[in-house]
Amino acid sequence: MAQDSPKQEGSNYLLLFIVAGAVIVADQWSKATVLAAMPLYHSKVVVPGFFHLTHVQNPGGAFGFMAAQSPWVRKLLFSVVATLAVGMIFYFYRQVPRSFRWLSFALALILGGAVGNLIDRFRFGQVVDFLDVFIEGIGHWPTFNVADSAITVGIAIFVIHLIFRRLPE
């Protein structure tokens, strides 16, 4: 590793905690607002034919994965997976040189999203979703939330680093 790009040190975890913390706060605030303002399955049109706020709750993972399993199986599986993911994020974050700011940012987004959804799983046994995007007459994307968005953006940044071979050695 080049000397001008030392690995993250304890003080550089500040970016990780600020970004992940901001994602968690925005995610939990938005979910609390939806829970307080919208009955389950209620929908409000934001952009006709494209975007609604729709209160749903997803007991499964992405795209309803494992939704049919018993609550204790889901809680155990998603808790183990989230714990492993958090551990891996801390490990990888420590390996990222300071010069790879976008990659560090991506890992922080993924961490914040994972923790935001994990909080829901412990509180409610499922995840509160409300962002409903579709193109009328063409297709409908599964309803998602702020945490899911952060994870998706973080993974996209990571993939861009992979494609352009901008990963630390």
Q: Is the dihedral of CA 117, 118, 120, 125 positive or negative?
A: positive
Residue type at position 103: L
Residue 132 falls in the annotated catalytic set: no
Report yes or no: 140 and 54 within 8 Å, Cβ to Cβ. Answer: no
Catalytic residue among 27, 120, 129, 132: 129
H/E segment holding residue 35: helix 13-37
- The closest of 128, 102, 107, 158 to 27, measured between CA atoms, is 128
Residue 67: DSSP 8-state: T
Known catalytic membership, residue 148:
yes
Cα four-point dihedral sign 107, 108, 111, 116: negative
Of the residues 27, 120, 132, 148, only one is catalytic, namely 148
Which residues belong to the active site?
A: 129, 148
